[in-house]
Structure 1
Amino acid sequence: MQTYYYVLASQKFLLEEEPFQEVLEERYRYYEEQNKEIDFWLVKQPAFLEAPEMKSVKEKCPQPSVAVISTDVHFINWLKLRLEYVLTGSFEAPSESISDPLASLEVEKSA
């Protein structure tokens, strides 16, 4: 099993109110300069929140939510310092209750 760390917030806050695209672009540049493989993902309506052990976390976050998930705790701590109104935590996957750490509950809109 792998430990995944996350920053969780409402989609409205993170994707509309915060200059989050700039933050991600800055981090991509940093990874590129360091020749580091991307180890973070943006997931709308993350499915890991449906796990029974995540119930209290889900209740604290306005819906619809979005998470940045990473295997790098330092990156998540860095994000927490950049963004104020977010929740952070971790989980292990794959597990019985979280089969896919990057799964989304968001339904794709077809054209």
Structure 2
Amino acid sequence: MNMQNHINYVEFAAADLAQTERFFNHAFAWQFEHYGPDYIAFSNAGLEGGFYRSDLAASTANGSVLVVLYSSELELIKEKVLQAGGVISKEIFSFPGGRRFHFIEPSGNELAIWSDS
């Protein structure tokens, strides 16, 4: 497949890289590689990316892009998010084509998870 002009990588700010790494590893089994004290790259996430040390955070309230993950078991993944230390910012709601919820990971970034079931 030709990857020209496709989204290839995504980067997030993260105030606490260690806590963010633990969260995504526990909740979603993402794998991480460290590149010095201020950057970690992730894989096994559908799209590769990284976290850089910063006190900023992505939030739709501030006009940020919303990264949306997929899960066929929405309630189960919601529990994993909570157990890993995430905070639910929008409870499960329906929209045309499925259901989703939003959460805040330990460094303050907002993401969502949707399901078509």
Structure 1 length as normaliser, TM-score?
Answer: 0.31
Whose helix fraction is larger, Structure 1's or Structure 2's? 1
Relative to its length, the structure with more strand (as a share) is: 2
- The higher relative CO (CA closer than 8 Å, separation ≥ 6) is in 1
